[in-house]
Amino acid sequence: MTRLAIVGGAGRMGQALAEGLAGRGHEIVGLVDDREPAALFGAVHRAALEALQPGSVEAVVDFSSPEGVLASARWCAAHRVPLVVGATGLAAREREALEATARQVGVVVAANFALGAALVERFAAVAAPYFERVEVIELHHDRKVDAPSGTALATARAVAAARAAAGRPAMSDPTTRETLAHARGAEGPEGVRIHAVRLPGLVAHEEVLFGSPGEGLTLRHDSYDRQSFVAGVALALAKVTAAPGLVEGLGELLD
């Protein structure tokens, strides 16, 4: 059992994590959020980590926002509390803060904590050198504010790295004219095209499409419920320690 503070604890993801992790034997001591959580799961509600006693918290889980991650990183570094981050849309400033925190304490950061999503990224890297072209489609609920998703970017980077390691050239887009701007989506690393879909009713979904003359391969992962992320967060909590170090991506924890 680990005593946890969940930052972003009033949000849909924070509530799902509190319910799921409490069900796995963790003690939720604090839900940190500007808003009042719908359910507390035995925890107290606080507006900031500073309002919690550091000795009562053995790990922090942050699924809030880039700004929230900055505050969590500083607090965890100051009090040597391990940190697990699932917030997306992080820029260079937040990544630098996480790297600084990781020099003081263990940090795990991942764009997606679904075990299936981590496996799709791994399988995509295996397949990438064997096909001429690869494109990524990510589909999320209509309240997601950043695009493309961190999961899609991580997958595209894994594909690009695998192709480069195999000596495959960067992919060039055969489209020479767009009758509607951005119809081909965004150009990711090494020419991997990324397409973002936002629709009500979705949770988190990803397709990786491979093509070569005469054949294709599609990898797809679907999160139908936010409880799908609980197992990955539990795995990260089991692996992260007070010893300094940064782990990026859930895939590193699957070995």
Tell me which residues are annotated as active site: 140, 144
Query: For tokens 């997601």, what's the residue?
Result: 144
Cα three-residue angle 88-150-175, rounded to 5 degrees: 140
Query: Long-range contacts for 170-178 (Cβ within 8 Å, ≥24 apart)?
Result: 171/132, 171/133, 171/134
The CA distances from residue 232 to 57, 70, 88, 108, 169, in Å, are 20, 22, 16, 11, 34
Contacts (Cβ under 8 Å, ≥6 apart) of 169: none
Please answer whether residues 191 and 171 qualify as being in contact, where contact means their C-beta atoms are separated by less than 8 angstroms.
Answer: yes
Closest CA to 37 of 69, 8, 59, 4: 8
Say how many Å lie between the first and final Cα of the chain, rounded. Answer: 23
- Report how far residue 217's alpha carbon sits from residue 160's, in angstroms, rounded to the nearest whole number: 17
Contacts (Cβ under 8 Å, ≥6 apart) of 165: 129
Please answer whether residues 183 and 177 qualify as being in contact, where contact means their C-beta atoms are separated by less than 8 angstroms.
Answer: no
